[in-house]
């Protein structure tokens, strides 16, 4: 899988450093791949990156479909089948294939390709030096609530109320989407079953996930997608 994903990395990302001022992370031992966008071009990396084409995004999705294990029984098997259905729907939307889902697949496909294009990897090696912030971070106007619901449901509710939404993915550093393809149940898996986050993460498979898998110390990088 690493070889094919490496080719996709090149297809989707190789022009980023040429079209922006985004650099390349210093090579990690055993990583052997370029294309990791640094934080030097944070403000422009997403907007200036070459658009992710439908074939590229479809290839990222097919990697997940190959790895899915929907044949299990019980709740875990049901979650694995939902994961497979999500990827199949996304693939159909970006390729224009027939789909029985009652939604605007053209708009979904365009939004998925746009999301993959905007997905950027910030390498810790290239972060600029920073000083501790002085004073309190709080403005005193925060409202903290605890909800018992899927994170996507909460994010959608806030967005519909006109709020600006940011979601922290409690992510696996080794597997895009965690174990959602095999029916695992946690926060990242819930997000991956309900959104197009999977191809956005798979775009950085070689630079991010493979680097963490190869870490000899067992300590992961501080890189951020």
DSSP annotation string for 152-176:
HHHHHHHHHTT----------SSST
Query: How far is the C-alpha of 190 from the C-alpha of 86, rounded, in Å?
Result: 12
Helix (H) or strand (E) holding 47: helix 42-48
Burial of 117 (0-12, 13-18, 19+ CB in 10 A): buried
Do 27 and 60 contact (CB within 8 A), yes or no?
no
Per-residue model confidence as pLDDT tens digits over 2-40:
444 444 444 444 433 322 222 233 333 333 344 444 333
* Angstrom distances, CA of residue 107 to CA of 64, 110, 137: 22, 5, 38
For residue 129, the model assigns a pLDDT of 77
Average pLDDT, the chain: 77
pLDDT for 134 equals 66
Per-residue confidence (pLDDT) for residue 136, from 0 to 100: 63
Res. 73: pLDDT tops 70 = yes
Higher pLDDT: 163 or 69? It is: 163
211: how many CB neighbours lie within 10 A of its CB? 26
Report residue 216's pLDDT band, with 50, 70 and 90 as the boundaries: confident
How far, in whole angstroms, is CA 163 from its chain's centroid?
22
Q: Which residues pair with 224 in a beta bridge?
A: 122
pLDDT by residue (tens digit) across 82-127? 999 999 999 999 998 887 777 888 999 999 999 999 999 999 888 8
Q: What is the pLDDT of residue 10?
A: 46
Question: In Å, how far from its chain's centre is CA 203?
Answer: 7
Report residue 43's pLDDT band, with 50, 70 and 90 as the boundaries: very low
**pLDDT over 90 at 72, yes or no:** no
Q: What is the pLDDT of residue 14?
A: 42
pTM above 0.85, yes or no: no
Q: End-to-end CA distance of the chain: give it in Å, rounded.
A: 20
Cα–Cα distance between 168 and 154 in angstroms, integer? 12
Q: Which pLDDT score, from 0 to 100, does residue 70 have?
A: 67
The pLDDT tens digits of the residues spanning 155-210 come to 999 999 998 899 999 999 999 999 999 999 999 999 999 999 999 999 999 999 99
């Amino acid at each position: 899988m690493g070889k094919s994903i490496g080719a996709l990395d090149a297809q989707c990302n190789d022009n980023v450093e040429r079209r922006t001022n985004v650099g390349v992370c210093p090579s990690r031992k055993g990583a052997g791949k370029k294309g990791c966008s640094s934080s030097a071009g944070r403000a422009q990396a997403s907007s200036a990156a070459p658009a992710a084409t439908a074939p590229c995004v479809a290839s990222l999705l097919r990697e997940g479909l190959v790895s899915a294990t929907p044949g299990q029984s019980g709740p875990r098997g049901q979650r694995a089948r939902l994961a497979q259905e999500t990827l199949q729907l996304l693939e159909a939307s970006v390729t224009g294939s027939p789909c029985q889902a009652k939604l605007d697949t053209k708009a979904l496909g365009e939004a998925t390709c746009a999301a993959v294009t905007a997905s950027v990897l910030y390498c810790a090696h290239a972060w600029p030096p920073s000083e501790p912030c002085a004073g309190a971070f709080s403005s005193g106007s925060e409202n903290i609530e605890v909800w018992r619901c899927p994170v996507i449901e909460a994010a959608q509710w806030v967005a519909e109320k006109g709020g600006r939404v940011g979601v922290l993915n409690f992510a696996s550093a080794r597997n895009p989407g965690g174990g959602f393809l095999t029916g695992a149940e946690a926060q990242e898996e819930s997000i991956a079953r309900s959104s197009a986050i999977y191809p956005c993460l798979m775009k950085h498979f070689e630079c991010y996930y493979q680097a963490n898998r190869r870490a000899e110390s067992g300590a992961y990088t501080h890189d951020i997608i």
